[in-house]
Structure 1
Amino acid sequence: MTHTDPTAPAHSPVLQADITLVGGGMSGAVLALSLAALRRPDGRPLQIVLLEASALAQGAHPGFDARAIALAAGTCEALARHGLWAGLAPHATPITHIHVSDRGHLGQTRMTAAEYDLPALGQVIELGAAGQVLQEAIAQTANIRMLCPVQLTGVTPREHAVELALATGEQIITALLVAADGGHSFVRQALNIPVRRHDYRQSAVIATVQTAAHPAGRAFERFTDGGPLALLPMQQGLSSLVWSMPGEEADSIMALNDEAFLAQLQQAFGWRLGRFLRTGVRHCYPLALTAADYPLGQRTVLVGNAAHLLHPIAGQGFNLGMRDLDALCAIVASALAQGEDIGGYPVLSRYWQGRKGDQETTIWLTSALAQLFSNDHGPLVAGRNLALSLMARASCLKGPLARQTLGVISPVTKE
């Protein structure tokens, strides 16, 4: 891994790469390592360049903050196929039960790993811990050159390559450009790739909390009038809180001292894990949908939050992104085997045709759930509670939702 000083003179003004990834967070790091493992028919590896604008701080990557994310069962399987799960698994906590309920109403449903013959429905991992594992792996991978910190200043697509200009004065010429640079993607804006946006008029309050009862693998999604409240099990008996609410309410919640905050959280969540005892530092993020309906440019593909920034309900953000990364890696591997141009339109078009349906379905699902379960309109409340009650009684009704959100194969039919 290479760390560059933006003020230093360029030692190599033109750098050639097979694939350049912009953004070294979770999506960029996972994809860089997955692509680095591919080989041409003659055994030669791809030359990967990974660009990250933010400097590393005390060994931690700025793209990996204090949040925790839920990795669906399908995501863990994909990470294992790419040889990455073994390093991440010791830092993860399995989800064995999911409890979904509607505050103040009777509707609720449960999912268990046993229903789907899985050891776990998913895993929860702190981004900080994941970042350290992935950065160590990148540093040990000879065909990944990571430039960090470095500022991308220009993107110029050509017929046979994309030319990238850096603030250092260096230039990168790459056959394929992958933008993994987040919801405010520089690459997406530079190439004028259009996006649709929807402001949920909500913010997410995020914190690590401790409860009197050990979560013991139990995850909770509780719907309140203001928005969904999720608790994910973590190591050491802690839970990761993601609490969505109207923006003005979030401002008030953030202004409370810890004791008052825990009291409000107790009232919203209830007592399924006993009393809330402690909270860590709280963070607050505005929530909006940003989605590129056609996440391709010339020799360029958008992935992760650069392609689709979702509402956190049902925890689909990185899991949808992982399915994109997995598919892109498979398409590149196939193109290499057939001697195709990995950045050419036929290759990228095949990728998008394979991913379009899943992206559209997941974006629709998360938006619909966010609006359905953040509404106190009488008929909607009655309808969603009926749906939860029916799913609790008929496992066949949970199957489609489980397959989409967990990334698992159809549940095994029990005799």
Structure 2
Amino acid sequence: MNATQSSSCSRNSVLIIGGGLVGASLAIALDAAGVAATLVEAAAPRTDAQPSYDERNLALARATVNGLDAIGVWRHAASRATSIEHIHVSRSGEFGSARIDAHRQGVDALGWTLPARELGAALLRRLDECTRLTRLAPASLVALEPIADGWRADIKTADGVQRIDTSLLVGADGTESFVRNRLGIDAERHDYEQTLFVCTITPEREHRNRAYERFADSGPVALLPLAERRCGLVVTVPAAEADAISALDDAGFAAFAQQRFGWRLGRLSRPGKRHPYAIRALAAQALTAPRAVLVGNAAQTVHPIGAQGFNLGLRDALTLAELAAAAADPGAADVLARYAARRAPDREGTIAMSHSLVRLACLPQPLIAPLRSLALLAFDRLPPLRDAMARRGMGFRGDPPLAVLEQLP
């Protein structure tokens, strides 16, 4: 719906700032649970070209797909997804490797790969089905002030400014969150001094629904299975080398990717358009403030190693929706305290895992190389350890939202 200039305030129980992947998922989950909300989206809705969703290929954990299915999104995306049935982890120049197999875990897939644009389009189609949700787009938050029982927000739209009072303010507005800054929540930041390049590429041999993660001194590289025999390439380089990599033509970039990944799938060719991203991590020092909460990248932005970003953010959204649906007042202090307590183990564990993998798996220290190889071999040969890590990788960790759960062997 379009906003109009108004001198009076409208009242809303939940106001979500940010219509990206996590914010849209939260809005849908609240609507499915019968909770009225308003979603403020920076971009006008377009399923063919949504600026909020880029050309990345997302690795969606099994728990994530369960959650998307529970809120009615997955039916709009499933036909474009590719299952991940095997994962192979190794390090360049070292003898150890680890493998995870879906069938050993008693499931048909460990996760799925899906272009981010396709997930964005599926979310937009599902948003169109919502009946309790008010959408303001294109719109942006321009002012925010506390009131007795919530927050008063001024939302700028093409038709003017709409003032909304809300009992629960949700910041889903990304790493440089306006909401987080306005709430006065500090954040710890870390610059990895790395740049991530993502694109599609075609291997000579079939990927057979196998995902690869390969570590090296210069950073990790991943190859994700996609439809039509293509793969999604994710390669990390030192920031100082980013300009040189950006300047490579297709043949030069394919040769660079080959050198970094190796020959497990034969020759790599036909790289698509490259998109570079500076890699910086952020962790908000608090998830909540009075009648306000942070989700997704506004709460934590993690290193892309292990592809945990959206998976973690969706668990934020589904946990918040679950608690809000069961509460008479979604913004009450006890509700937000339960949210923070439930999210802490998953959040802290994922942040620590991502950071440790970068530091240990990519650390150029020859003295620890044998230990890394032995650790990978132990992982591969000790079923209890492998199974526990596989379940965490599938998104079943901490106290997850009910929407993602299933009975695993």
Aligned length: 398
Higher mean C-alpha deviation, range 249-258 or range 176-185: 249-258
Q: For 2:260, what is the secondary structure of its paired residue?
A: helix
CA shift, 1:397, in A, is 2.1
How far the C-alpha of 1:58 sits from its partner, in A, is 7.2
Contact in 1 for aligned 2:47/2:121 (Cα 8 Å): no
How far the C-alpha of 1:57 sits from its partner, in A, is: 5.9
Match of 1:313 among 294, 297, 305: 305
* Secondary structure of the structure 2 residue equivalent to 1:166: strand
Deviation readout 1:171-193 (Å, 9 max, x if unpaired):
11111111111111110111111
Let me know the Cα RMSD of the aligned residues.
Answer: 1.9
Equivalence map 1:275-294=2 (5 Å): 275-294=267-286
Match of 1:27 in 2: 22
How far is 1:412 from its partner? Answer: 6.8
Q: Alignment partner for residue 61 of structure 1, among 14, 38, 50?
A: 50
Match of 2:71 among 74, 77, 82: 82
Distance of aligned partners of 1:130 and 1:58 in 2 relative to their CA distance in 1, 3 Å threshold:
closer
Distance across 1 between alignment mates of 2:322 and 2:295: 14
Q: CA deviation at 1:292?
A: 1.1
Q: 2:9 is matched with which residue: 9, 14, 36? A: 14
8 Å CA contact 1:93, 1:234 repeated in 2: yes
Q: Alignment partner for residue 37 of structure 1, among 32, 40, 45?
A: 32
Match of 1:42 in 2: none
* Offset from partner CA, 1:121-173 (integer Å, 9 cap, x none): 00111111111121122123222121111121112122312110123321111
Give distance in 2, aligned partners of 1:329 and 1:412. Answer: 24
In structure 2, C-alpha distance between the alignment counterparts of 1:133 and 1:57, rounded to whole Å: 11
| Cα pair 1:25 1:61 within 8 Å, conserved | no
State the secondary structure of the residue aligned to 1:27. helix
- Which segment drifts farther, 136-145 or 28-37? 136-145
User: For 1:24, what is the secondary structure of its paired residue?
Assistant: coil
**Residue 214 of structure 1: CA displacement?**
2.2
Contact 1:375/1:381 (CA < 8 Å) preserved in 2?
no
CA contact (8 A) 1:20 1:50 kept: yes
Q: What is the DSSP-based 3-state SS (H/G/I as helix, E as strand, rest coil) of the residue aligned with 1:313?
A: coil
Which ranges in structure 1 are unaligned for 5 or more consecutive residues?
40-45
C-alpha change, 1:3 and 1:104, in structure 2 (3 Å) is farther
What is the DSSP-based 3-state SS (H/G/I as helix, E as strand, rest coil) of the residue aligned with 1:279? coil
1:92 and 2:92 correspond: no
Distance 1:412 1:162 in 2: 42
Aligned to 1:384: 372
**1:151 corresponds to 2:143:** no
Residues 56 and 342 of structure 1: is their aligned pair in 2 closer, same or farther, counting only changes over 3 Å?
A: closer
Aligned pairs (5 A) from 1:112-127: 112-127=101-116
What is the percent sequence identity of the aligned residues? 38
What's the TM-score once normalised by structure 1's chain length?
Answer: 0.92
Cα offsets for 1:75-127 (capped at 9, x unmatched): 11122222222222112110001010101111111101011101100011111
Picking from 329, 344, 348, the partner of 1:356 is: 344
The structural deviation recorded for 1:56 is 4.7
Unaligned stretches of 5+ residues in structure 2:
398-405
Q: Please state if 1:164 is matched with 2:142.
A: no
TM-score scaled by length of structure 2: 0.93
